[in-house]
Structure 1
């Protein structure tokens, strides 16, 4: 078979195969990625994609660290069951094994958790996500000894070095153990714009929290740095994000926050992904 005919045959076969077999997708990041594959926002996404592994609110450094085996296994505290499970996964660190077992076609990553929280060095050389504000509500967290904190505000240079090393390790792991999996970046950002009664508002002013425009811009600068490093060092494709186009509506199902967007984001991004993979 000639090379041109062979190439045509392979492309035709792949496209026909994809029409009857949804892409297997793994997700690492936050709701900015997970909600693209949520029936609340995209009711028909399962026609095209099947989620086979999902990890939310866990920093890259934690994902690549050694698990924490603590004596008390029961987790009690004043947080939702979702966040209790996030905490458990943050300690167990089983995402890599779930990835390897499920062998997804694509792995989509966003860096919200790394930017907003950072990481904690704990218990003799391992790391967890820096969510002290939430984890301290759990009795189980009392067993953990915090040795150092790395974030946009603490040990920033060391944090960047630590993050880069662990992201490199993640890419190496995926390419070694999931040779047919493509990594795609979801380049979302913090938006400080809301929509209330048909009028644009400054979200941080409406929320009356500590994250003023200065902090939002600072988060986005770091997020851009992570995206740029990942995209250009490893030649990754990406889903772009227009920060001027998106905002948080006051009736968003999860409430007002800087990474909760209007419906147009979820619809358009799913469409972009489908076009990218055709």
Structure 2
């Protein structure tokens, strides 16, 4: 069955629509309904019962017959339907020459007009009349909640004001003269997988007559603000209020080895970027080397190693780690002392460099230094430990100056003496007998730091301390199986929250 619209005529407060009905509807009880499109509450804006006595019928729609919806958007489409006991009919356009215009008298601060959908069905389009009493956002600030200060030019003591974000209404908290303050509980918002909350909003008022109206702003504006948990952008653009809330990521810098760095690698913890941003790494550098004097070198002699390894070696030679930092973005500086336990240092005049046989030893640069004095923690404990203690105090002094808001964490990683083979069996490393001594020395360094500095320790369950042949970098005493890295991130998250 088709219900055909023949024409539309206008009156000051509404429209008359001549309709041609199917013959089978003559004498039937029909219901004309107008509802907001995509409105889950299915509230009728307009409802009228008719019993047609012929196929030609004039439908009268007047503003005075509209029921005020609880909340109206700045632009909306209302659908018109004719319902029978068994079916629902749309009003179909009869020709292409039927243009529409707005009804002369506004309704509830809205203009409205008949509107043809892309399928040539009749609907109603409404748009908000530019308000004569606009509001402007004067300030926002944040603690555990978001607070918004709004100035409204024309305010009535009996009116109540609300912010609407998506489908949630937030009532005003208090007001002073023309300023109204709103408290938005941002901690209750549900973030998406990317750690964001996006919302369209508006300011609405409920008058003494229980009419709900939108108040439009008179100017575009944008506010950016953050606390420890969130970055927030609140903006008004072309009359639309936008709220974007993004979970603030914790900035991480590592001074240590892959045992710490790999926790912030998507291969090992695939979702770490949701909460953490990795800022910078000083890889496999002894504390003694890191804080000693810069060392002159010929860049042509830094060869036979890949570009990334060369960059780390150059940073250590220049002692430029603290110069290259994004100081304000680091929440945590995470240290481990693998390089002091495993490599030791070379003394070059009044400076030191890590005696890294994986990187430095492969270069031509090392050839002229190979006969210089070296110190190792396991063979020269007294000398090395004294050098290291002076250096760790210097390191913490520099951290305090460069990163005053950052917290220092000590990753109490340890060597493992075993690994998992591809067939699932567990075997010992060839150097398994050295592991207890390495770990004892590592404990001595960790304990000294914990006793002398304000740090946060992270240690992983002993049963997770195992390597694997399937590791991304191959099996090694500090290349762990995946459960190790998962527990590390879990513990870091717990420590961050506390």
For normalisation by structure 2, the TM-score amounts to: 0.50
The answer (yes or no) to whether the contact 1:121–1:146 under 8 Å persists in 2 is no
The equivalent residue for 1:203 is 429
SS at match of 2:317: helix
The answer (yes or no) to whether the contact 1:239–1:272 under 8 Å persists in 2 is yes
1:117 corresponds to 2:343: yes
The equivalent residue for 2:228 is 14
SS at match of 2:325: helix
SS at match of 1:136: helix
Alpha-carbon separation, structure 1, partners of 2:485 and 2:459: 12
Alpha-carbon separation, structure 1, partners of 2:435 and 2:356: 18
CA positional deviation for 1:134: 4.4
1:58 corresponds to 2:277: no
The answer (yes or no) to whether the contact 2:345–2:353 under 8 Å persists in 1 is yes
Alpha-carbon separation, structure 2, partners of 1:141 and 1:246: 34
Greater shift, 170-179 or 155-164, is seen at 170-179
Within 5 Å, which residues of 2 pair with 1:64-213? 64-70=291-297, 72-99=298-325, 101=327, 103-122=329-348, 124-132=349-357, 134-144=359-369, 147-196=372-421, 197-204=423-430, 211-213=431-433
The answer (yes or no) to whether the contact 1:120–1:146 under 8 Å persists in 2 is no
Q: Deviations over 1:161-214 (max 9, x none)?
A: 10011001111111122110100011110001111211211122xxxxxx242x
CA distance 1:100–1:159, change in 2 (3 Å):
farther
The answer (yes or no) to whether the contact 1:52–1:102 under 8 Å persists in 2 is no
The answer (yes or no) to whether the contact 1:57–1:113 under 8 Å persists in 2 is yes
Q: Deviations over 1:79-122 (max 9, x none)?
A: 33333223222211111222364551110011111110111111
CA distance 1:256–1:145, change in 2 (3 Å):
closer
Which of structures 1 and 2 has the larger relative contact order (alpha carbons within 8 angstroms, sep 6+)? 1
CA distance 1:16–1:91, change in 2 (3 Å):
closer
SS at match of 2:373: strand
Alpha-carbon separation, structure 2, partners of 1:40 and 1:110: 21
Alpha-carbon separation, structure 1, partners of 2:401 and 2:252: 18
CA distance 1:129–1:220, change in 2 (3 Å):
same
Alpha-carbon separation, structure 1, partners of 2:355 and 2:324: 23
CA positional deviation for 1:78: 3.2
Please identify the structure whose Cα radius of gyration is greater. Answer: 2
SS at match of 1:257: coil
SS at match of 2:312: helix
The equivalent residue for 1:264 is 483
Runs (4+) off by over 6 Å: 7-10
CA positional deviation for 1:24: 1.0
Match for residue 222 of structure 1 among 414, 422, 441: 441
The answer (yes or no) to whether the contact 1:61–1:119 under 8 Å persists in 2 is yes
CA positional deviation for 1:73: 1.6
Gaps of 5+ in 1: 1-6, 205-210
CA RMSD of aligned residues (A): 2.4
The equivalent residue for 1:208 is none
The answer (yes or no) to whether the contact 1:190–1:220 under 8 Å persists in 2 is yes
Identify the structure with the greater helix proportion: 1
Greater shift, 195-204 or 224-233, is seen at 195-204
Alpha-carbon separation, structure 2, partners of 1:87 and 1:54: 12
Alpha-carbon separation, structure 2, partners of 1:238 and 1:153: 24
The equivalent residue for 1:4 is none
CA positional deviation for 1:23: 0.8
Q: How many residues align?
A: 263
Alpha-carbon separation, structure 2, partners of 1:46 and 1:21: 11
